[in-house]
Chains A and B, each alone.
Chain A
């Protein structure tokens, strides 16, 4: 979602990409949508006889948050680990 933020993705695709099962994925999507970080829309299916599909992508706010989290993660990984010495 961060690499191609303009692309809409469906739930199963997100599940496959993230390795999250639907039981974990949907509560996360709901939470993100509640917080205005996720945009969703219905898209007619390309396959005949199939119902419309719910598609998702990050909003501008979601994208900004994801990028800041990503950079924090990278900084954390680049920073040398310090051993805390206790008494």
Chain B
């Protein structure tokens, strides 16, 4: 006697529990409906197929809730997403500002000694501009926290700054790559960590803020 039907049935039940967890809160009664329906399927294979379909339905509903942009987006999705998007830039800002070679540690003596000449001035400008642009990292985290905790969207000006900042960073990184192709790997890191990720986070935040009221979902 094979025990695979029992395994399938257990797997189906586990998937349906996951579905209940994935579905947005207001959809939980549908998870109960899916689970109870699976109990009525005599065939274990059919029950498993049913459960897989229900899991897909759950994921689709979760994604739909997210992309319709109401603030009911789950905090457990938004928090890691925002940390991923703005975390590296925030760390970069901290390092560029308060790190061993950060701008706060600069004084007249150091500038005079190590940043003399045109190349030194260029390096200084790059350090300061980096610290300023990367300040958008912690600002993005604060804006995300306000949205998650207080349900308050950021202002248009702040949204524009959060979007334009990474674009400027992207421009600089790409220019650096064009000027010095051997710096490709460094430029790629910068493009992703300080350009694309914060840009994606800022766009998502702006979009969520602009769609605060739940919109009716149409088939």
Q: Give the B-binding residues of A (Cβ under 8 A).
A: 10-12, 15, 21-32, 34-35, 40, 45, 47, 50-54
Contacts and interface: CB of A to CB of B under 8 A. Distances in A.
A24 B218 CA distance: 14
| Max chain A Cβ within 10 angstroms of own Cβ: one of B33, B36, B52 | B33
Given A22-B50, A23-B57, A10 B219 contact: no
24 contacts: A12-B37, A15-B50, A21-B53, A22-B37, A22-B50, A22-B57, A23-B52, A23-B54, A26-B33, A27-B60, A30-B27, A30-B30, A31-B217, A31-B218, A31-B219, A35-B216, A35-B219, A50-B39, A51-B36, A51-B39, A53-B36, A53-B37, A53-B40, A54-B32
Interface in B179-205: none
B122 interface: no
Nearest to B50: A22
Interface in B48-73: 49-57, 60-61, 64
Contacts of B219: 27-28, 31-32, 35
8 nearest interchain CB pairs? A22-B53, A54-B33, A23-B56, A23-B53, A31-B219, A26-B57, A51-B36, A21-B53
B79 interface: no
A87 to B, nearest CB: 37
Nearest to B37: A11
Range of interface residues on B (Cβ < 8 Å): 20 to 34
B34 interface: yes
| Max chain B Cβ within 10 angstroms of own Cβ: one of A23, A29, A35, A51 | A23
Contacts, number: 74
| Max chain B Cβ within 10 angstroms of own Cβ: one of A10, A21, A29, A30 | A30
Contacts of A25: 53, 57
B36 A52 contact: yes
B217 A22 contact: no
A23 B40 CA distance: 17
A34 B40 contact: no
Contacts of A32: 219
B67 to A, nearest CB: 13
B40 A30 contact: no
B22 to A, nearest CB: 12
Interface in B17-51: 27, 30, 32-37, 39-41, 49-51
A50 B217 CA distance: 33
A26 to B, nearest CB: 4
A29 B27 CA distance: 11
A25 B219 CA distance: 11
Contact of B34 (A26, A28, A34, A52): A26
A21 B56 CA distance: 10
Contacts of A31: 217-219
